[in-house]
Structure 1
Amino acid sequence: MSEWIGTGLLTSTHEKWFHRRKMLTPTFHFSIIQDYSHFGQACRETAMGIQVNAQLGHNNEYVHAVKRISEITWNHMKFPWLWLKPIWYLTGLGFEFDKNVKLTNDFVRKVIQERKELLSEEGESDRKRKAFLDLLLTIQKEKKTLSDEDIREEVDTFMFEGHDTTSSGIGFTILWLGFNPDCQKKLHKELDEIFGFASDQSPTMDDIKKCTYLEKCIKESLRMFPSVPLIARRLSEDVTIDHPSGQKIVLPAGLSACVSPIAAARDPRAYPDPNTFNPDNFDIDAIAGRDPYAYIPFSAGPRNCIGQKFAILEEKTVLSTFFRKYEVESLQTEENLRPIPELILRPYNGIRIKIKRRESTDYVVL
């Protein structure tokens, strides 16, 4: 992974990680996110501030390269014999990986130079809403702490972390609402009250804040099937944990430890019916009485996901626009869903749904 994204926020450790985290946290401050008033355009615009237009077809080289890098990386993790360089390259995967890494890195470096020139021409006041890359370039200019290669690492990191994870979350939320028509009706009612029936209105930040039931549905979907199925850490120091028997167990420094967000979120001590989709699990009262580590789709602790608030806003924007006009029915059963824990959690047979345009309100107005 580090051969692609270098040692950005995801893969760096110790002082470098601490410095990067401290520096990048303000770029995801709520006041920055609020500047994205035109969410439709913002969701189509990448972290680099350009229109990749991936939604117009499957031929975009950058999008395809990112996808293949993720797939090849997962194969490298699964099959230990690929860790041997001769076998890695004899299979052809090593050469394909290197080719796609070069393509993505060259693309991002080119965009960095173009954005530098554009920002220099625009001036500071001409562009109120800045893309992630613009914010990094501003930090570089003002603080002189980032090189172009540092910026490239962080852009690649956030394109990897924020691309498939968000689409996975959106897809599973649609699927779960297709399994649960009563929840879908509640959502339609909320959206109609905020936007009007089948409205084309572009969502504002205030509109998105009002979509409280939608947020519960998204969070419940992430509880059932978190986008990242496994969180791995290498211990930098000895850690002592208490076993239920009362014995203390010492995990030595250097050990790789893995935590499953799925297992944590299916604990019956935290969720009364853990295998049932229930957005009410995220009512204020329910959250207040629950161990916060029983819900960790964005990890937890100091290395939690820096963009989790933005991710939820992104999902709410897309889903509020979709469910205003459509209703869905899942054509699979929950039992046959079979999620596959790759780098990003995916359904084995894809997502099969029937989409129907809403002709009228599907709830009773009292």
Structure 2
Amino acid sequence: MTIPFLNFKAQHDLLRDEMANAFQRVYDSNWYIMGSYLTQFEKEYAEFNQVAYTVGVSNGLDALYLALKALNIGEGDEVIVPSNTYIATALAVSYTGATPVFVEPNVDTYNIDPSNLEQAITNKTKAIMPVHLYGQACEMDEIMRIAEQHQLFVVEDNAQGHGATYNGKITGSFGHINGVSFYPGKNLGALGDAGAVTTDSPEFAERIKCLRNYGSKVKYVNEEIGHNMRLDELQASFLSVKLKHLMNFTQQRVAVAQWYNNNLQGVGDLILPKVHSDATHVYHLYVIRTKFRDELQKHLNENGIGTLIHYPIPPYLQQAYAHLGHAKGDFPIAETLADTSLSIPMWPGMTSDDVNTVGAAIRSFFNEK
């Protein structure tokens, strides 16, 4: 690819020495699980995310699952999730034995629409799981108000929203307990699988620490049936390095998004990202929409420009969820987004020339139209 969808080179060139030193420190420590580097990162991330506690775990999906389990959500319960999210959000609910209940997003922001929540609440509903999709913060004030009114828990899926805010408050700090992913492609990415749970509750934090480690707080003493879902020392050390640079990388993403906005405004039938007036967007992804999506993707690929579709099949239409009985047409906004959305290159280190090249290729496609 002339311009790949994702390129780590700029980040890795900048961080090479720091990351090598981090590896060396962990290697020389001879202690690789549940040690001082994990404790250090948990403290640093809690401070960044403006919460009392961060508990490092194996990945973002496990973070969401453990968060729900810490709330004692299980068989017979329901958890409200967006109809257009990545399937991991729903899987976390299913792992507990509970049922994911899908609601439509706002067609402009792609985030869960608070006005659709109350009609989905039943006497089985235990939690709402908003997803800060593509990096834009959800309308958290209204979501929290509805949750409080109906005595529901809120579990934020903050996999894509590191550092985004709503009314000045950072994502991952609103909910009672929240999950975050550090998958390599995320805005804060490890060099392998990694995740964390964030919360202000000491009880929830202690429960997660126990659950992630075989249900044990004291070695060989198991209080409950737990899991092996720990964040290892090496990834924690890498994340501590990258966390120091996260806001710089985020500023670069925002600059790239603004270049795209200027470059693509008024081109064809393109719909560009729209940001809620009370939210900020950290642009984990830059997603455009067009009814010619598949043709445009083919054109860009032929011109050496990488793209992805987030996400081509909504979770409720996946075979994995056929047992819920949903059919095409049940959630028309989610399906419209699935049919028209295209993610174009977005990464720290992209230059204005890179964006101009992508923009020129997109404009040439619509000029031919």
Higher relative contact order by CA 8 Å / sep ≥ 6: 1 or 2?
A: 2
User: Normalization by structure 1: what TM-score?
Assistant: 0.27
User: Normalization by structure 2: what TM-score?
Assistant: 0.27
Structure with greater Cα Rg: 1
**Structure with a larger share of its residues in helix:** 1
